[in-house]
Amino acid sequence: MLLPRGQQKANTCGAVPELIEDYIALPSLLRLRSRSYIEGLYSKQHLSVREIARLAEVSRSAVLEALRRFGIPQNGDGYQRSGHLPFGFDYLNHQLVKNKGQQAVIRMMRQYRAGGLSLREIAGSLNQRLVPTKNNGVWQANTVRGILARA
């Protein structure tokens, strides 16, 4: 039982505190205190600051501050990727590479469209099947339209 701050008792009897059997997930902000975590995402996996912020569920400025704090150079390899990644692709070794899972979703969209479904019906079907968007959002008809126009 928690008591108000002034009424808390000290552990004077020498009893061992209860052991915690489960683990407690660290808040996302605490992940940014690990140099290896950030360096792995930014330098080794080549994720953008925005992608790391989304993954760690923190603000973009918090990621930038962590990069500065650990002395990790931004765009240190001389390559700069501008803009967002299109659905169906990942960024690997400074090149756009097809993402097999997302390419399968694009094929599914084409099949639905060829079968006569509207853009709204395609988006609803993808949401119903719990197919994730690039940013783990909800499918919209305009998003489907843009992807089909690019493909």
What's the pLDDT tens digit per position in 31-41?
677 788 888 88
| 112-135 average pLDDT score | 93
Find, among 82, 86, 136, 127, the residue nearest to 108 by Cα. Answer: 127
The answer to pTM > 0.75 is: no
Tokens of 14: 């020498």
Q: What is the pLDDT of residue 74?
A: 73
Weakest mean pLDDT among 51-60, 73-82, 93-102, 129-138: 73-82
- For residue 43, give the amino acid letter: S
**Of 42 and 115, more confident:** 115
CB 60 within 8 A of CB 49: yes
pLDDT at 151 over 80: no
Where is 62: in which H helix or E strand? helix 60-70
**Environment class of 5 (CB within 10 Å of its CB; exposed 0-12, middle 13-18, buried 19+):** exposed
Query: What is the average pLDDT across 65-73?
Result: 83
Specify the pLDDT at position 108: 95
Q: 101 and 146 in contact (C-beta within 8 Å)?
A: no
Q: Give, in degrees to the nearest 5, the angle at Cα 90 between 85 and 94.
A: 90
Interatomic CA distance for residues 12 and 33, integer angstroms: 34
pLDDT tens per residue across span 88-123 = 888 777 778 898 999 999 999 999 999 999 999 999
pLDDT of residue 30 exceeding 70, the answer is no
Please state, in angstroms and rounded to a whole number, the distance separating the CA atoms of residues 92 and 89: 9
